[in-house]
């Protein structure tokens, strides 16, 4: 069976230095059937020029007044061609086997939505701490998901067809977008997680 294509969507705005590290972490993945889409929300710091110089990504510049994180993510979903979608914020980056381990879990559990644990890096001290599993949940979360925030956008891997079915990201929500999306996802599919920090 051929490895399913994963479309990775990075959204960015004027954070070129951080974006480069995020892009490198995608291109270095051990899982190779990846389509990388970068959506720039009206950047003015050289981001657009840098992305246009790369020949192994699809670059989408949003015009002034059109943007916002949810609009950018939905634009990426719309043009994507992968069976699964993974999101990466420009100030995050992945361990090299993040997608491989998530795809393996998704296929083994016949799951349409998986997430993973993450590391936290203190911007001032560079101290790294690992997320614990204290608040992690999996399986049928349709009622349990309301107990607490579950995970961040950069930790998600979701089947594209399910994202389309639930309506993608709500462009009217200014924050907690991924939590609201996962509430809707939990109503239509079980959710599982890789018990490792991969972001």
68-123 tens-digit pLDDT: 889 999 999 999 999 999 999 999 999 999 999 999 999 999 999 999 999 998 88
Cα(60)–Cα(63) distance, rounded to whole angstroms? Answer: 10
pLDDT tens per residue, range 129-151: 998 887 889 999 999 999 888 89
Return phi, psi of residue 2, to 5°.
Answer: -70, 140
Burial class for 129, CB neighbours closer than 10 Å (0-12, 13-18, 19+): exposed
Please report, to the nearest 10 degrees, the dihedral formed by the alpha carbons of residues 73, 78, 80, 86 taken in order: 30
Instruction: Kindly tell me the sign of the dihedral angle through the C-alpha atoms of 133, 138, 141, 144.
Output: negative
Q: Work out whether strand 119-121 and strand 113-117 pair parallel, antiparallel, or are unpaired.
A: unpaired
Distance CA 20, CA 38 (A): 11
Flag whether pLDDT at 19 surpasses 90.
yes
Contacts 24+ apart (CB under 8 A), 174-177: 176/149, 177/69, 177/70, 177/73, 177/153
Q: What is the dihedral of CA 140, 143, 144, 147, to 10 degrees?
A: 160
pTM of the model: 0.94
Are 89 and 11 in contact, with CB atoms under 8 Å apart? yes
pLDDT at 1 over 80: no
């Amino acid at each position: 069976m051929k490895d399913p294509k994963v479309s990775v969507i990075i959204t960015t705005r004027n954070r070129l230095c951080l974006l480069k590290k995020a892009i490198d972490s995608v291109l270095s993945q051990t899982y190779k059937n990846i389509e990388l889409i970068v959506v720039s929300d009206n950047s003015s710091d050289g981001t657009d020029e840098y992305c246009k110089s790369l020949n192994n990504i699809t670059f989408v510049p949003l015009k002034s007044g059109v943007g916002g994180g949810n609009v950018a993510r939905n634009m990426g979903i719309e043009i994507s061609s992968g069976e699964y979608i993974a999101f990466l914020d420009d100030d995050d980056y992945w361990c090299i086997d993040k997608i491989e381990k998530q795809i393996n879990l998704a296929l083994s559990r016949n799951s349409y939505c998986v997430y993973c644990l993450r590391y936290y890096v203190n911007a001032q001290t560079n101290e790294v701490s690992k997320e614990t599993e204290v608040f992690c949940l999996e399986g049928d979360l349709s009622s349990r998901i309301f107990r607490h925030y579950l995970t961040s956008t950069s930790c998600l891997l979701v089947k594209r067809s399910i994202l389309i079915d639930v309506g993608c990201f709500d462009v009217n929500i200014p924050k907690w977008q991924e939590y609201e999306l996962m509430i809707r996802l939990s109503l239509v599919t079980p959710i599982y997680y890789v018990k490792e920090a991969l972001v």
